[in-house]
Structure formats: C-alpha cells, structure tokens
Amino acid sequence: MKQKTYTLKTKDIKREKFVVDANSQILGRLATRIAFVLRGKHKPIFSMHADAGDFVTVFNAEKIRVTGNKLKEKIYFTHSLYCRGDKQLTMEEKMRRDPRKVIQLAVAGMLPHNTLGKEMLKKLTIIVGATEETGKELKI
C-alpha cells in the first residue's frame, strides 16, 4: 500500500507561547533561534508554504549584546524616496532610540521576504525591561 504525502491544514496547527530573556544574549544567535520558532521549523509538521510557527515574547530587549565593533560600525539605512531623504543610523543610536527595532529587523531578515514572512513577524512581541510572562522558556 502506498503512503500518502501529508499536507498541513490550518486546523492541524496548535500554537504555543514561548518566552525569551534577551539579557546578555548575542543578537544574531538570539534572532536565528526566534526565527526558527516563528517559522515552525521545530515542529514535525513543518511546511514551507504554511505558517505553523508559535508565538514568541522577548523581554529585556535593551540588554542584548553584539560581537566585535558592530555598535559603532553597523549602519541602518532608510530612505524616504524624496531627494536627499536618506537616513543612516549606527547600531548604537538605533539601540538608544528603540532597542526593540534592532531585534525586529534582525529576525525579519531571517524570515521569508513575502506576505507569509509578514504574518510570521506579527507573532513576535518584544518588550523593553523585565516582565512576568508565562509560557515555555526558549532555550538559546
């Protein structure tokens, strides 16, 4: 008897809630683990075309670490599409303004760059400061 290929359906998805403490975590390693859970790759029912990932809450966002000279040398570039509308911020300035954005941009770069990736990113919550969240602790 032939075995049939399993196709993921939305009713089969059971979402969990994970909590991450970003205190003294390295940004890149933290972002890869978060993206892994948001995509649902830690589950045996993973499908590339469906959003099977879980919810992730990150707290102590202001206490992340980076290696090397990234705080002073990494540049975040945006443009308003107007003439001379470019803005360049170093990671240090970006962290001072909003440390949540640094983690969000790192995770977003590791997710698919389409509407599916945008839906996955909506399941990420980043909090500055400590909190008493409940959920499974994500081991990094």
Tens of pLDDT, residues 70-117: 999 999 999 999 999 999 999 999 999 999 999 999 999 999 999 999
Instruction: Find the mean pLDDT for residues 38-42.
Output: 93
Least confident of 25-29, 74-78, 114-118, 129-133: 129-133
Q: In a 3-state reduction of DSSP, which class is residue 52?
A: coil
Look over the chain and give the mean of its residue pLDDT values, rounded to a whole number: 91
CA neighbours within 13 Å on the CB side: how many for 71? 12
Instruction: Find the mean pLDDT for residues 7-33.
Output: 91
pTM: 0.87
Letter string b/e over residues 105-132, b meaning 16 or more CB atoms within 10 A of that residue's CB: ebbbebbbeeeebeebeebbebeeeeee
- The answer, yes or no, to whether residue 50 has pLDDT greater than 80, is yes
Q: Tokens 């308003």 appear where?
A: 80
Domain 16-66+97-131 architecture = Alpha-Beta Complex (3.90)
Question: What is d(CA 51, CA 116) in angstroms, rounded to the nearest whole number?
Answer: 7
Instruction: Find the mean pLDDT for residues 123-132.
Output: 87
Q: In a 3-state reduction of DSSP, which class is residue 102?
A: helix
